[in-house]
Chains A and B, each alone.
Chain A
């Protein structure tokens, strides 16, 4: 499959300077806009509002069986992948009971309530793969490197911001991909401004080759009719 980056697309990508695309497909916002784990961060995962959560200062209050529906809902939530996630969602700010106390309380409450959490499989990687697949609109090869310029470029052109791309690629590969690294790669392939003013390009910079992948800069008028950047994703 080939992704052709026409001049308008490239210009739009450069103009947004690392920010998310305003007109990106809704599926991307849905894939990225998953609920945030953490008390007070985004919408609550297990109740209408945080006022309906147990007292943040008292993990042992979970011993009250009235919390059964909330705890079941929380532990069954797709954003909660382990007991620590659940603890993060219920614990208050710093200075209150620590996460270990909350984690232990949640474990004991789950045991008392005979809740069997669904996250024994450690399938967070599959979730991350699903997110990336949704963003790109196609599956990703198993051996795709997170710093592969084609993969990074495709994420960005799909509408991700630099930091979103770094997060998605980090979660997908379980590696720490910094936004600066993503930004550098995007500069290399001319999807972000900042590369051309650094002196004359070498022949290697004109045709970036990583792992057998070729990203050919076709800005030159002598190169084809459409100009812009042509990326062959079969070369992953």
Chain B
């Protein structure tokens, strides 16, 4: 029998969460994630990516996880390391 770790927290843009992104759900600012307690985890930051108008695509940094799409905004978990490279997506 394997132990599962559950993350259930309210998040907003710029917040950081540390989890394994295999199974993540997101609804109106509430994030839940479930993963084996021995899984590798990573620190992510909640970020918004806008689309629409002239931009019908968004560039997400590598290893990002999409949380939601709608109303011109993609909400995603972005690896914290993407913020330290000086350029991002």
Which residues of A are in contact with B by a Cβ distance under 8 Å? 55, 58, 60-61, 63-69, 72, 105, 108-109, 111-114
Supply 13 further A-B pairs (C-beta < 8 A) apart from A111-B14, A113-B84.
Answer: A55-B50, A60-B13, A61-B48, A61-B50, A63-B13, A63-B48, A65-B85, A65-B87, A65-B88, A68-B86, A68-B87, A72-B86, A105-B14
Of listed B14, B59, B78, B89, residue having the most chain A CB within 10 A: B14
**Contact at B48–A60, with CB atoms within 8 Å?**
yes
Partner of A68, one of B49, B80, B83: B83
* B88–A63 CB distance below 8 A: no
Binding site for A on B (CB under 8 A): 12-14, 45-50, 59, 61, 78, 80, 82-89
Q: Which residues of A contact B13 (CB under 8 A)?
A: 60, 63, 105, 108
Inter-subunit contact B46/A63 (CB<8 Å): yes
Q: Are B48 and A64 in contact (CB under 8 A)?
A: yes
A-B CB proximity, top 4 nearest: A65-B88, A63-B47, A63-B13, A108-B14
- The A interface is mostly helix, strand or loop, or mixed, namely helix
Q: How far is the CB of A121 from chain B (nearest CB, A)?
A: 24
Report yes or no: B78 in contact with A65, Cβ–Cβ below 8 A: yes
In the bound complex, residues from chain B placing their C-beta under 8 Å from that of A109 are 14
- Asked whether, in the complex, the Cβ of A69 is within 8 Å of the Cβ of B84, the reply is no
B75 to chain A, nearest CB (A): 9
Q: A63-B14, A112-B14 are in contact. Are A68 and B88 (CB under 8 A)?
A: yes
> Hey, which chain B residues are within 8 Å of A60, CB to CB?
12-14, 48
